[in-house]
Each structure stands twice: as C-alpha cells, then as structure tokens.
Structure 1
Amino acid sequence: MRLLHTSDWHLGHRFHGRMRLEEQGAFLHWLLEQIQAHTVEVLLVAGDIFDTTTPGSRAQALYYRFLHQLAGSSCRHVVIIGGNHDSPSLLEAPREILRQLNIHVLGMVDDQLDKEIVLLPGQATEAPELLVCAVPFLRDRDIRQAGAAETLEEKGRQLRQGIQDHFQQVCQQAEQIRQEYNPQMPLVVMGHLFVAGGQTQEGDGVRELSIGGLDRIDGSSFPAGIDYLALGHLHLPQKVAGNPTRRYSGAPFAMSFSEVGQKKEVLLIDCAGREITPTPLEVPCFQPLASIRGDLSPLLEKIEALKAEERPYWLELQYEGATVIANLREQLLEAVADSQVSILRIRNRRIFDHALQQSKESETLDELSVEEVFARCLEAHQIEPSQRQGLLQAFAEIKRAVAEEDM
C-alpha cells in the first residue's frame, strides 16, 4: 500500500498582503497529478488545512473541489486531522457526508478515543490493511484542567504530560486492534504538534502556543510500536530525532522570505507489512520569491537581472548601504515599474539606525516575536522582577486563548 503524507496547506494565507489562492490551487492540482502518477492509495493531511478559523469561501472551495477530484483518482482513502490554525467545528461539519467518500476528518478530540482510530481495508479485500491513529491538534482545554495558583512551569509540565498520555492511550487501543486483526498490519500515527528539537525558520508563521515552548514534547514520548509518524505544524520538512519513519512533511509553500530557495516536499510512504519506506517528493515552486540585500547600486542591478527572467517574482529588498537615502522606496518602486516583479517588502536599516542612533539596539517590530515585544514592554515600563513572572503567566494564558479560539 502506498501513502502520501502532507500538511500545513494554510489555504487562504496572505503573503505580505498578497492572496495565494492561485498558487495554492496550482499546488493542489499538482498534488492530484502526483497521487495519480504514483498510484497513491491513502492521503494523509496532518493539519492546518486553512490559515484561519474563518477561511473565506474561495479557500474552502479549493479544499472541497480537491476532495471531490480525488474521488476519480487512485486514492481510495483520505485521513485529515485539524491543526491549531483550523476551526474544529468547520472541519467536522461535513464529516458524515465525507465519510461516504472514504474521507475521514478528525477536527477535534472526543471522549471516545476509538473515534481517532481508522481501519482502512485493502483494494482486493475488505480485510483491514492499514491502521491509522488520527490525533488532531490537542488544545489545552482538551487534555488539562486548570488549577488555582499554578505556575507557568506546572502548566507546561501538565500540558506535555497530557499530550503524551493521549498518544499513549490511543496507540494502546490501536495496538489491541492490530493484534486482533493482523500483528503485521502497519500502524500510522498522525499528529499536529511541536516536538522538541524541531527546526523552524524566522518569520515562517509557526505559532508558539506557550512562552518558552513549554508545550513541546520529547520525541521519545511516542510509543515504540508506531511504524510511521506523520506530523504537521512545523513548516520545514524534517525527521524527528533523525528517525526516517517519524517526520514532518513541512508546508508546501514558503511561508516567509527567510525560506527563499528552500526545497519543499511531500512524502511518499511505501508499506510492505510493517516495513516502511518514505521517499521525499519535491514540490515545485509555484510563486517565485527573491530576497536581495546590499547598497543601492547592487540592489538595482539585481532587480534588472530578475526583470530579465520575465517571471512574476515577489521581492524583499534589504538596503544595507552606509548612506541614508530619503527617497529609497520611490527609487526601488520605480525600478520595477512596468515589469512582472513586485516588491512586497523593503527593509531600510539605515533609516532605522538613524532614528534610533541614541539606542544600543537596532531592531524592527517584525524582527521580534510576540514574547520579545512583551518583554520589551516590561523593560520599558521598569516592571519589578518580582512582578514579571505573574505578568508573563497572564500573557501566556491570553496568547493561548487567542490561538485556540474557535470562531
């Protein structure tokens, strides 16, 4: 049986104000072609289907059109879990209808753990050939009860333990089912979470749901009986602790200019009994990006080189010259006029340095995480160290509530 693992589509995402629906539609069309070309039988989508809990109608149309088109392909089963960006109720609303098309959607946890266990039959027989534990993004309220006067560290420890316990319990039930049907049946586990040691990229939009990453769990927390672990949440494709059968597929698009030139992938998974062979499949770049830096003359030269390619580049420019140029923006925008190149971001370090010449720090708001901005506020208002822990704890609660709010 051949599977395909993908995640973090973020349909409806805006890139520096630009809608990406055309780019995302091109990816889904390409994905459908690969499913057919490689005779994929099972598609695994590990969360963050949409970019927000209230996706627009066009983003939803992309999603449902793709699912409809799968019905005519080699793909016989689809398993989808919700991510932290998704609305659990929106994903689950058509759940029963989609199930008739062998599309299994798990948007939220349930009191009955067996609902997260999906048995998939083979093509030649109705006997199950694949066992999938589909664990959606685990929210704080799903796995932990808040207590009075808890410290931030205690909440983080309870959250990590709750996540670990949930995976252990689901996998334990799945193992019992496997032993009942066929001990050699492969067990695939899906999750949407942050495993400690995972790599992120500056500005890639991965949400930290607690200050200091206290919700990150150790890679060794997953049961040993898992044959393949299909994860979502981190946007860089990567192995978990170097294990080739425990992986993040990563997002299929660059989520920030810091990812320019980075290869994106989905994963083909071949199952021969419990022998699992993952093979990365590189995703083409459907929207060219470029980030160039330097003095004005080199910037203008590189812009001309990009224009000569006659491709619709989205461009980030970082001016690093020694001279303060008051009309820098106007000159750069004029350079791309009447071309396919669009400037989405200009970072003028010299203007900023000049404005903050009395300060020892040189940083912009978009270079800081929300935690760092809050820390700067505490410093600026000279908050006493004894009061900071309580404020940080309150801030973490607010941030988590905003991230988890199901609109």
Structure 2
Amino acid sequence: MRLLHTSDWHLGHRFHGRMRQEEQACFLDWLLEQIELQAVEVLLVAGDIFDTTTPGSRAQSLYYRFLHRLADSPCRHVVIIGGNHDSPSLLEAPRELLRQLDIHVVGMVDGPLEKEILVLRGNDNRPELLVCAVPFLRDRDIRQAEVAETLEEKGRQLREGIREHYRLICAQADQLRQALDPALPLVALGHLFVAGGQTREGDGVRELSIGGLDRIEGTSFPECIDYLALGHLHIGQMVAGNPTRRYSGAPLAMSFSEAGLTKEVLLLTSEGRHFAVAPLQVPIFQPLASLRGDLAALMETINDLKATATPFWLELHYEGEAVVTDLHERLMAAVADSSMNILRIRNNRIFDYALRQSQEAETLDELSVEEVFERCLEVNRIEEEQRRLLRQTLGELRQSLAQEEEL
C-alpha cells in the first residue's frame, strides 16, 4: 500500500495579521496532485486541521472542498484525528456522513476504545490495514483531578494516562490483528509532544502545560505499532531516532524562524508490516525572509531581494548602534515600489533601552503571551524559583481557558 502522512494544516491561520487562504489552497491543490501522482491509497492527517476551535467559513470551505475532491483520486481511505487546536465537536459533527465516503474522523475520546480502532478494507472487502486513531488526549480524558495535588503529581498522572491509553488501544488492535491476519500492518496516529522533540521560536506549538508535564518519552509507544504518524510539532522529525515513528511537521511555515526551512509530507510504502518512508518536499507558496543588521545592511539586503521580484513577506531586526527615529518610515519606503511586504519590524536597540527603563517599546499584538509574561518577570526582577512557579501557574490558567473554549 501507499500512504501519505501529514498534519498541522492550521487552516484559518493568520500570519502577523495576514490571511493565508490562497497559500493554504495552493498547498491542498499540491497535496491532491501528489496523491494522484504517487497513487496514494490512504491519507493520514494527524491533527490540527484548523488553527482555532472556531474556524471561519473560508477555512471550513477549504477543508470540505479538499475532502470532496478526494473522491475522484486514487485515495480510498482518509483517517483524520483532532489536535489541540481543533474543536472535537466541530470535527465530529459530519462524522457519520463522511464515513460513507471512507473518511474516518476521530475528534475526541469518548466511549469504548473500539471507536479509535479502524479496519480499512480493500475493494475485495478483505482487511488491508489496521489503524489506531488516537486524537489529542486532554487532561479530562485520561485522569481524574485530585484535591491538593501537586504539579509533579499531575504531570506523572498525565504521562501515565497517555502511555496507558496507547497501551490499551494497541493491545486491543493487536489482538484483532491476530484474529484477522497476523501480517496485517498496524498504523497508529497521535497528536502530542514527545520529549526531546525539536521546535522553533514562535512556531505556534502551544505550551498548555509549562514545564512539559505531558511530554512522554519516545520509547513509550507499544512495539506492535508498525508505523507511528504524529502531529503537533511543526518540524518534521523522527521520534527517538526511529524511522517508522515520525512527525510530518506543518506543511507551511508558522513563524519567521522557519523561513527557508524545508517542509514536507511523508510518503509511506508498506510491504506487509514493513514501512519505507520517503519525504516529499512541499513547495514554498509564500516566501518569507527574516533580515538582521544596521540600517545600511537592511537596505542593501532589501535591494537585493527586490531585484529577484519575489513577493517576500519580511521580518526586519534593526541591530544598529545609532538611534534612528524614523526607522519604520524609511524601511517601509524601501519596499514601497516592490511586491514585498514588511510584516514585522523589531528595533532591538529601542527594545534594550525600553527594557532597562521598564517601558513598553512594542505593541501587544507583536508579542506572544509568553513574551509579555517573560518581560514582566524580567522587569520586576523575579527570582528564578518564583519564576518557575509563576510559569507553571500561567500554564494552568491557559489550559483551563483552552478547555472552556472547547465546551
């Protein structure tokens, strides 16, 4: 069989205020082309279809239009799980309708484990693939809160709950495999953070539990899994060095720190229970560039980029010693006659000065929640031990708010 592993589309995502529908539509068009060119029979989407739990109509239109177009492709099965950004109820609302098209959606954990175990059958109705479709596991899904529990106790229970869920569901799937055909390949999907996973600054990976309370070791997954398709981390990577346990990564850059980074989806070829993995490089549909230097260096690089006539989205870091009072105006004028757009200007000299003077030098919409919080800790000279406790408290508050948002 030929399968395709992708995740973290984040449809509806805004990039520094810019909508990305055209870019995301180009990716979905390209993905459909690859499914046809590579004769892909099974599509695996490991969570974070949407960027928020309340996606707009245009984001939902991209999603359903893509699923509709799959009907005319070689792809016979689609398996989709919910991620931490997705609304479980929104994903599952059309579940029974989509199942008639061999599109299997598991947005949440509820009821018996059988819901998360799929037997995919060929045209002759014989089983050809077993799938454990495990959505993002929320705190309430896998443990019961206890009175006066410590963060360490909560973290231990979370990790044990995640490991136990995978152990139980894979054991049940493996038992089913022995009854159907011991040579049947078993694929597991998941959406979580494995300890040691690589991230990039500002890449959008939500840290709902500060300190990695719910990160599990890469060796925690049952051996009976023949291929593990993970989502959540936006950089494609192997898990614990295992070529058949992988993150596909987000197909589009989620921050300027990913400018120029190769993005990919993973083409899988199975022969029995053996899987070969071949990355397919995703084209860059919207070029990004992050530039650093003093004013002269920035101007020179901007002119070099203008000569390429490429419609870059730019992030500029001014690192000169001189205070340039009209920096913003001069930089914006430099790109006025081009197809490039400046989305972010960071004046590091002004920032350093403002931090020392305990003054705000940037608008809040330029900063993440974590950046604002860290600035407050720095300005108020909070001791490191107190910082750790405050970060954990912030994580708890954000997790609570995120869960209320989903209800």
Q: Distance in 1 between matches of 2:389 and 2:151?
A: 9
Correspondence for 2:78: 78
Aligned 8 A contact 2:88 2:107 in 1: yes
- d(CA) in 1 for partners of 2:387, 2:282: 45
Distance change >3 Å, CA 66–CA 222, structure 1 → 2: same
Other-structure match for 1:13? 13
Looking at structure 2, the residues matched to 376 and 294 of structure 1 have their Cα atoms a distance apart, in angstroms, of 23
Partner of 2:203: 204
User: In structure 2, what is the equivalent of residue 314 of structure 1?
Assistant: 313
1:402 deviates by: 2.1
Question: Residue 117 of structure 2 corresponds to which residue in structure 1?
Answer: 117
Q: Which residue of 2 aligns with 1:296?
A: 295
Cα distance in structure 1, aligned partners of 2:43 and 2:179:
25
Q: CA deviation at 1:390?
A: 6.8
- Matched with 2:95 is 95
Tell me the alpha carbon deviations over residues 292-332 of structure 1, each in whole angstroms, 9 at most, x when there is no partner. 11111121111111112112110011111111100000000
Q: Distance in 1 between matches of 2:380 and 2:355?
A: 19
Unaligned runs of 5+ in 2: none
Hey, what's the Cα distance between the residues in 2 that align with 1:19 and 1:240? Answer: 32
How far apart in 1 are the matches of 2:299 and 2:390?
47
Identify the residue that residue 157 of structure 2 maps to in structure 1: 158
What corresponds to 1:179 in structure 2? 178
Let me know the Cα RMSD of the aligned residues.
Answer: 2.2
User: Within 5 Å, which residues of 2 pair with 1:3-402?
Assistant: 3-123=3-123, 125-357=124-356, 370=369, 373-374=372-373, 377=376, 394-402=393-401
| TM-score normalised over the length of structure 2 | 0.94
How many angstroms does 1:366 deviate by? 8.7
Q: Could you say if the C-alpha distance between residues 395 and 297 of structure 1 is closer, same or farther in structure 2, counting changes exceeding 3 Å? A: closer
The 1-side partners of 2:169 and 2:392 are apart by 31
Deviation at 1:7, TM superposition (A): 0.1
- Does the 8 Å CA contact 1:269/1:276 hold for their aligned counterparts? yes
Task: Name the CA shift for 1:390/1:296 in 2 (closer, same or farther; >3 Å).
Answer: closer
Q: Could you say what secondary structure the match of 1:306 adopts?
A: helix
> Size of the alignment, in residue pairs?
404
1:355 to 1:20, Cα distance in 2 relative to 1, 3 A? same
For each residue in 1:240-261, what CA deviation from the matched residue of structure 2 results, as whole angstroms up to 9, or x when unmatched? 0110000000000010000111
Contact residue 136 and residue 192 of structure 2 kept, 8 A: yes
Q: Once the 2 structures are TM-superposed, how far is the Cα of residue 365 of structure 1 from its aligned partner?
A: 7.6
In 2, are the aligned partners of 1:318 and 1:346 still within 8 Å (CA)?
yes
C-alpha distance in 1 between matches for 2:290 and 2:389: 40
Structure-2 separation of matches of 1:218 and 1:286: 35
Q: In structure 2, what residue type is equivalent to 1:190? A: L
In structure 2, the CA distance between the partners of 1:172 and 1:341, relative to structure 1 (3 Å rule), is: same
8 Å contact 2:355–2:379 — kept in the other structure? no
SS in 1 for 2:200: coil
| Matched-pair contact (CA < 8 Å) for 1:211–1:371 | no
Deviation at 1:73, TM superposition (A): 0.2
Task: Tell me if structure 1 keeps the 8 A contact 2:187–2:228.
Answer: yes
- Check whether the contact 1:120–1:130 (CA below 8 A) recurs between aligned residues: yes
Change beyond 3 A, Cα 1:304–1:368? closer
